[in-house]
């Protein structure tokens, strides 16, 4: 049995007016099982986004905490057309006790790529960066834009990295450039409390669901 050398990475930084968070988790499930979790996410995103809050986004809603709830997103419509590499989200952006921005639309490129599984046994999650990604099995790129006072640009990547026949690594890289309104009150402390925290919750949810599914599959086999 492989002994995982390091379990996770979670780091955020600010450069070129953009907040970036990198999160990597080692997962006790193979790439094939991890891939089915990504398929489930896409299915729910396209057909029933509210269902995501029952698993992938579980626990990421309002927390009744002024730091974690600096601003909240209320999803209203999602569109994903894989044949055109196109996606769109319509949502309300809420600053509790201050204002609600209605029907904000983010749209842009959504790219879904697959490669054959090639194992990289020496992966350590806490030393991964975008420039050091080894062989990956699946990759999503989201590059969205919104011309307005809230968000100028948002883009991100998520990868499944095969480790061996029983383990994989999830790597997520998120980048957000806010518009002038949010720049008034969002600093690194606010960002880490409200955004980084939710990114970590989301990734931990994906890890947990993938590992639970793998345990179920093993119990059926044995």
Q: Per residue in 187-214, pLDDT tens?
A: 999 999 999 999 999 999 999 999 999 9
pLDDT of 126 > 60? The answer is yes
CA separation for the pair 100, 64 (Å, rounded): 17
* pLDDT of the residue at 5: 45
Answer yes or no: is 98 within a domain: yes
pLDDT band at 2 (very low <50, low <70, confident <90, very high): very low
Looking at the structure of the chain, the number of domains it has is 1
Answer yes or no: is 3 within a domain: no
pLDDT band at 3 (very low <50, low <70, confident <90, very high): very low
Answer yes or no: is 2 within a domain: no
Answer yes or no: is 193 within a domain: yes
CA separation for the pair 185, 90 (Å, rounded): 23
pTM (two decimals)? 0.91
**191, 182 in Cβ contact below 8 A?**
no
Range of the domain at 17: 8-221
Answer yes or no: is 116 within a domain: yes
Answer yes or no: is 17 within a domain: yes
pLDDT, tens digit, for every residue of 30-70? 999 999 999 999 889 888 888 999 999 999 999 998 889 99
Please state, in angstroms and as integers, the Cα–Cα distance from residue 10 to each residue in 60, 90, 149, following that order.
Answer: 17, 28, 28
* pLDDT of the residue at 221: 63
What are the CB-based long-range contacts (under 8 Å, 24+) for 126-134? Answer: 126/6, 126/7, 126/8, 126/9, 126/24, 127/6, 127/9, 128/9, 128/22, 128/24, 128/169, 128/171, 129/22, 130/22, 130/157, 130/173, 133/159, 133/161, 133/171, 134/161
Beta bridge partners of 216: none
28 exposure class (CB count in 10 Å sphere: 0-12, 13-18, 19+): middle
Answer yes or no: is 142 within a domain: yes
Could you tell me the CATH number of the domain that includes residue 38? 3.30.530.20
């Amino acid at each position: 049995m492989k002994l995982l050398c390091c379990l996770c990475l979670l780091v955020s930084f600010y450069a070129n007016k953009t907040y970036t968070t990198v999160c990597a988790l080692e997962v006790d499930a193979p790439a094939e099982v991890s891939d089915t979790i990504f398929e489930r996410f896409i299915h729910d995103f396209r057909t029933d986004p509210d269902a995501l809050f029952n698993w992938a986004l579980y626990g990421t809603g309002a927390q009744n905490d002024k730091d974690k709830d600096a601003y909240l997103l209320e999803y209203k419509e999602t569109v994903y057309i894989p044949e055109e590499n196109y996606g769109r989200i319509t949502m309300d952006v809420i600053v509790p006790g201050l204002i609600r921005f209605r029907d904000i639309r983010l749209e842009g490129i959504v790219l879904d790529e697959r490669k054959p599984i090639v194992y990289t046994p020496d992966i350590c999650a806490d030393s991964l960066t975008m420039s050091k990604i080894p062989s990956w099995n699946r990759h999503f790129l989201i590059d969205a834009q919104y011309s307005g006072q809230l968000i100028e640009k948002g883009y991100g990547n998520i990868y499944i990295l095969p480790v061996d026949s029983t383990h994989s690594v999830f790597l997520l890289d998120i980048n957000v450039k806010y518009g002038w309104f949010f720049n008034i009150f969002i600093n690194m402390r606010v960002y880490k409390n409200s955004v980084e925290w939710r990114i970590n919750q989301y990734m931990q949810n994906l890890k947990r669901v993938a590992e639970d599914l793998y345990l179920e599959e093993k119990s059926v086999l044995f």
